[in-house]
Amino acid sequence: MLNGKTILIGITGGIAAYKICELIRKFKKNGAEVKVICTPNALNFVTKLTLQNLSQNEVYVQEFDVKEWKPEHISLADEADIMLIAPATANTISKIANGYADNLLTSVACAFTKKMIIAPAMNCNMWNNRAIQENLFKLKSRGIEILEPEKGFLACGYVGKGRLCDVNKIYDAVCEDLNYSQKLQGTKVVITSGGTIEDIDPVRYISNYSSGKMGLALANAAKSMGAEVVLITTKDFEAPYKIVKVKSAFDMQNALNEEFDTSDIVIMAAAVADYRVKNYSEQKMKKTDDENLTLELVKNPDILQDLCKKKTNQVVVGFCAESENLLENAAVKIVKKGCDFLVANDISRKDIGFGVEDNEVVILDKNGGAQRLEKASKAVIARKILEYIHE
Ligand code: CTP
């Protein structure tokens, strides 16, 4: 079942390193190509020869041990479909969370753009340490899956949470992710993100607080599920897929029209301004003696509604931001817009939605179904939204 898949395993210096030998054997038995990188400390617990024999590949330890033109940390990252770090020590976890690249394993982790799973193992007091928990939170919010350690007798003599989780659980998580990474293969997903910017004059504009992070998380998740991704955004993002930078609602609509016919799924996560100024001033508007200023606004096109009118086979997904009566307003909106799904966000809560890292949403479908996704990082919510739509 793992034929054609390359699994990159990073082993760090913990006693549980010996358990990874069994895991490598299982991956190999099921057809995977396995590449192993060890930190120098990992070799205190398991030998290079054992790992070499089991993986039937060279075992990588040192940086600058150059054999080919392409640096190893880049080619190892490029070749693999998934990266697993197990056991992951507190030290390696903290380095990866903070972008350090001081050995081959952390350099590869830094260059790795696909799915990463980390299975920590350490002393229970280290696990409970605030710094380690904060670093784990950082990794989770970037979409890295953490397989939490289990409680039990620890090699250091303590009893508590810190043992590497069951290797069968690690095996299942890797298989599930490899399967997930193919779910949207052959599908073109177009996503919009950020608040549109409606110019008033050369120095002023109307916009909103949307950070574009939810749309970015959706685009990243779609990419990791194997889709061809186009992100149409008002923000300056860099990503390994096509990004079209736009400004106003009109720009966004034009960019969407370019992509729409060839797309399979369109997700409107952008916060589109409902109105723009009627008369854009070519020159900077001057302050006058009047105490009041009235700007006349005219309606922007409803991009989502227009797309839904002309859609053929595309699945069209809208977002809705509500500050009160979330479900009632969303139920009216999905009918009015005519979209297949509507992801409803409660923007009255400060801990989710606009500008922050987490979200909690309800997905409505056009047949009246509703699914709540409990509060999680935007990366996790994005992944669940795409899985729900896919199913
Ligand atoms: N939307 C759009 N074009 C607009 C306004 C909104 O395509 N001119 C899309 C948004 O991208 C989102 C959905 O419509 O996917 C709902 O946006 P929301 O701001 O919640 O709804 P509005 O239609 O603007 O209604 P209201 O502001 O009255 O709640």
Domain of residue 322, CATH code: 3.40.50.10300
Q: What is the pLDDT of residue 142?
A: 79
Task: Answer yes or no: do 306 and 169 share one domain.
Answer: no
Instruction: Quote the ligand 1 centre to 205 CA distance (angstroms).
Output: 19
Is 246 in the same domain as 274?
yes
Full domain range(s) for residue 239:
188-390
The rounded Å distance from CA 320 to ligand 1 centre is 6
Active site residues: 156
pTM: 0.73
241 and 369 in a single domain? The answer is yes
Q: 287 and 263 in one domain?
A: yes
Ligand 1 atom nearest the C-alpha of 300 is 8
Residues 28-44 pLDDT 10s? 999 999 999 999 999 99
211 found inside a domain: yes
In a domain, 1, yes or no: no
**Domain assignment of residue 47, yes or no:** yes
Indicate whether 58 and 13 sit together in one domain.
Answer: yes
**Residues 113 and 150 placed together within one structural domain of the fold:** yes
354 lines ligand 1 (CB under 6 A): no
Count of structural domains, the chain: 2
Q: Which of 161, 180, 199 is the last residue of a domain?
A: 180
260 and 371 part of one domain: yes
Q: Are residues 268 and 370 in the same domain?
A: yes
**Among 162, 180, 198, where does a domain finish?**
180
Do 106 and 247 share a domain, yes or no?
no
pLDDT digits (tens, 9 = 90+) for 129-172: 999 999 999 998 777 899 999 998 888 888 899 999 999 999 99
pLDDT at 70: 60
Give the residue ranges of the chain where pLDDT is below 50.
none
Q: Is 318 in the pocket of ligand 1 (CB under 6 A)?
A: yes
194 and 335 belong to one structural domain = yes
Task: Report the CATH number at residue 90.
Answer: 3.40.50.1950
Residues 83 and 192 in one domain: no
Closest ligand 1 atom to the C-alpha of 329? Answer: 29
Q: Where a domain ends, among 180, 213, 246?
A: 180
Q: Is 321 in the pocket of ligand 1 (CB under 6 A)?
A: yes
Q: Is the CB of 320 under 6 A from ligand 1?
A: yes
318 falls within a domain: yes
HEC sequence for the chain: CCCCCEEEEEECCCHHHHHHHHHHHHHHHCCCEEEEEECHHHHHCCCHHHHHHHHCCCEECCCCCCCCCCCHHHHHHHHCCEEEEEEECHHHHHHHHCCCCCCHHHHHHHHCCCEEEEEECCCHHHHHCHHHHHHHHHHHHCCCEECCCEEEECCCCCEEEEECCCHHHHHHHHHHHHHHCCCCCCCEEEEEECECCEEEECCEEECCCCCCHHHHHHHHHHHHCCCEEEEEECCCCCCCCEEEECCCHHHHHHHHHHHHCCCCEEEECCECCCEEECCCCCCCCCCCCCCCCCCCEEECCCHHHHHHHHCCCCEEEEEEEECCCHHHHHHHHHHHHCCCEEEEEECCCCCCCCCCCEEEEEEEECCCCEEEEEEEEHHHHHHHHHHHHHC
Could you tell me the distance, in angstroms and rounded to a whole number, from the CA of residue 47 to the centre of ligand 1?
Answer: 59
